[in-house]
Amino acid sequence: MSEIANSIFTPETAARFDRLVTLYPVKRSALVPMLLYAQDEVGYVSDAVVTEIAQRLDLMELDVRNVLSYYSMLRTKPAGKYNVQVCTNISCMLRGGYEILDHCRHKLGIGHKEVTADKLFSLEEVECIGACCWAPAMQVNYDFHDNLTTVKVDEILETYRAGKGKDVK
């Protein structure tokens, strides 16, 4: 049972959070994963998310915001349903990461950290995602796509647009 009377999260997520805090010697350790899971559900770390997580962990909201502002995968504004993250770090850069990023910009009509008008896609240029040997690579939400070509990118985006993409969360 959740300690929070009016949770903003689904019962599944609330139950997951209840379990998370019991795993660690110190409750606060659950903070980073909780922020990520909350973001997956809500779409971003909203003020309400910060308030509830602070309550769940007996922290000040300031403590939560302090951590929130540090990690690059946590965001305080909504992204698209599918967040396209293109890696342009060295290994990807050498194998055409910037061409892939430019292609996505052109194809989606948006720039870095922007969202399409239909809110379906957002685009981010990111640092290394650990797919160096299969470069160039990108992540859509948490789903890896590697050995990219512009043709492959078109197919991938189309798959998501048609609602058939794998959505790893």
Partner 1 sequence: MPTLVSHPDEVKVISRRFGQGAADIDKYIELDGYKAVQKAISQGENMAAWIIDTMKASGLRGRGGAGFPTGMKWSFVPKQSEKPKYVLVNGDESEPGTCKDHVIFLHDPHAVIEGTMIAGLAIGAKMGFIYLRGEYRYLLKIMEKAVADAYAKGFLGKNIFGSGLDFDIVTQSGAGAYEVGEESALMESLEGKRGVPRIKPPFPAVVGLYGGPTVINNAETIASAPHILLMGGEAYAKLGSERNGGTRLFGISGHVERPGVYELPMGYNLKKAIYDVAGGIKDGKKLKAVVPGGSSCPVLLPEEIDVGLDFDQMGKAGTMLGSGGIVVLDETVSIVEFALRTIAFYQHESCGWCIPCREGTDWIKKTLTRVYNGGGSKKDVANVQYLAENMMGRTFCPLGDAAAMPTLGFVKKFRKEFEDYIEGHKAGTPIITVEQLVGAH
Instruction: Tell me the torsion sign for CA atoms 120, 125, 129, 131.
Output: positive
The C-alpha torsion from 124 through 129 and 134 to 139, rounded to 10°, is -40
- CB atoms < 10 A from the CB of 90, how many? 12
For partner 1, the closer of residues 67 and 120 by Cβ is: 67
Q: Is 13 in the site for partner 1 (CB under 8 A)?
A: no
Q: Is 133 in the site for partner 1 (CB under 8 A)?
A: yes
Q: Is 146 in the site for partner 1 (CB under 8 A)?
A: yes
For partner 1, the closer of residues 14 and 57 by Cβ is: 57
- CB atoms < 10 A from the CB of 43, how many? 17
Pairing label, strands 82-87, 114-115: unpaired
Would residue 96 be called left, alpha or beta, if left means φ above 0 and alpha means ψ between -120 and 50 degrees?
left
For partner 1, the closer of residues 30 and 157 by Cβ is: 30
Q: Is 48 in the site for partner 1 (CB under 8 A)?
A: no
Min. distance of Cβ 10 from partner 1 in angstroms?
18
CA distances from 86 to 20, 57, 103, 129 (A): 31, 34, 10, 9
For partner 1, the closer of residues 28 and 161 by Cβ is: 28
Q: Is 151 in the site for partner 1 (CB under 8 A)?
A: no
Q: Is 126 in the site for partner 1 (CB under 8 A)?
A: yes
Q: Is 128 in the site for partner 1 (CB under 8 A)?
A: yes
Residues making up the chain, counted from first to last:
169
Q: Which residues bind partner 1 (CB under 8 A)?
A: 23-26, 28-33, 35-36, 57, 66-67, 70-74, 88-91, 93-95, 111-112, 124-135, 139, 142-144, 146-147, 168-169
